[in-house]
Amino acid sequence: MAQWLVEKGVDSKRIYQDNFARSTVENALFSRYALAKHRIKNAVIVSSGSHVRRSQALFTIASWETGPRDIKYVSVAAIDKPLAEMQSVSQGDKQGIYRDALKTMGLWSFRSYPLEER
């Protein structure tokens, strides 16, 4: 993704990657440190259309929970499903967003079935 952004004209110094996270929850939690360290006030989340809602929610929650709270997130989605299908949130997607939101807040007790499995 970073190489593609550079090829499209984005200065490589403006790209911060998290290559350590194993999940969207970890990505949101790890990234807030890099954003704070570099005093970033505006960040763009690039993800698939089917994943961007969850990403936006988790990054926002991570910032609310531990700061920095003044970061504004904008999402850019790569279309990976028909637009009509992406306009509504499925019950499974809602459940995943709620589950990961609770994990981002530190409520890991919600790891049991059926919340962990989709």
Considering the domain boundaries, does residue 9 fall inside one?
A: no
Considering the domain boundaries, does residue 36 fall inside one?
A: yes
Q: 85: how many CB neighbours lie within 10 A of its CB?
A: 11
Considering the domain boundaries, does residue 12 fall inside one?
A: no
Domain limits at 93? Answer: 20-80+89-111
Considering the domain boundaries, does residue 39 fall inside one?
A: yes
pLDDT in tens, 51-91: 899 999 999 999 988 777 889 999 988 888 888 888 888 89
Tokens of 46: 């690039």
Considering the domain boundaries, does residue 105 fall inside one?
A: yes
pLDDT given at position 101: 92
Tell me the percentage of the chain whose pLDDT exceeds 90: 36
Total number of residues shown for the chain: 118
Considering the domain boundaries, does residue 8 fall inside one?
A: no
From 1-5, 53-57, 103-107, the region with the lowest mean pLDDT: 1-5
Considering the domain boundaries, does residue 6 fall inside one?
A: no
Considering the domain boundaries, does residue 52 fall inside one?
A: yes
Q: How many domains does the chain have?
A: 1
- As to burial, measured by CB atoms within 10 angstroms (0-12 exposed, 13-18 middle, 19+ buried), residue 46 is middle
